[in-house]
Structure 1
């Protein structure tokens, strides 16, 4: 694999999280990055390292998204129960959390860091995401 090919594949892998999440919201970010990494990981050490970094970040993003969804379900359920028990007097619908906003913020974080990583890969340098679970080693 040529140096240019390594850089291109590294860029594609980092951008795969963004494209994958646009195609299949629940897990597309992980699936596309994983597929791209598995296709080229044995051909280049650089691409293998970038792929591991990208897949770890996308898994972290997905786990945070699941956590947000679980917390939203629990808090919205408790909120509804409290409103029902007080006849809507104490709790009102206007006080509910905007959990969708947290998902949007998470998507923006994914977008920003994935683009930074893709630019670094295109320059031929490795990028370590600032927060990421290191599950794939």
Structure 2
């Protein structure tokens, strides 16, 4: 009875079908990148790998390589996105320093000339 319940081994893909699916693995990553704003390029190769890995070593190798590359690029993309946040923070900090230096010099010149000076962009905490 247990022999009847055993699944038949998967039918191997033909060479033509294996080449087609290996190609589609790479193209599915591109589609995932475009449709998923760069963050789901791994999904197509993962599906191809899970479904067809036992039917063709050629497809499995391409799907594995594509999946590894897409996961690596996803990690790099996340790091790059964090770098943009840090870079924007760096630029904002640099802008603050420039504003402080410029307005401090203008204030010092005004004070040296005996004129009153109010810093722009200032919240008055002490009145």
TM-score normalised by the chain length of structure 2: 0.64
Residue 72 of structure 1 corresponds to 84
Is the aligned partner of 1:25 residue 2:37? yes
Q: Find the aligned partners of 2:100 and 2:45 in 1 and give their Cα distance.
A: 46
Deviation at 1:63, TM superposition (A): 1.3
Is the aligned partner of 1:48 residue 2:60? yes
- Which aligned segments of 4 or more residues in structure 1 are displaced greater than 4 angstroms? none
Question: Where does the alignment leave 5 or more consecutive residues of structure 2 unmatched?
Answer: 1-12, 103-127
8 Å CA contact 2:32, 2:38 repeated in 1: no
Question: Where does the alignment leave 5 or more consecutive residues of structure 1 unmatched?
Answer: 91-137
Task: Please tell me the root mean square deviation across aligned C-alpha atoms, in Å.
Answer: 1.7
8 Å CA contact 2:45, 2:64 repeated in 1: no
Aligned residues: 90
Residue 15 of structure 1 corresponds to 27
Computing the radius of gyration from Cα coordinates, the structure with the larger value is 2
Larger relative contact order, structure 1 or 2 (CA cutoff 8 Å, min sep 6):
1
SS of 2:55's partner is: coil
8 Å CA contact 1:83, 1:89 repeated in 2: no
Q: Find the aligned partners of 2:27 and 2:101 in 1 and give their Cα distance.
A: 48
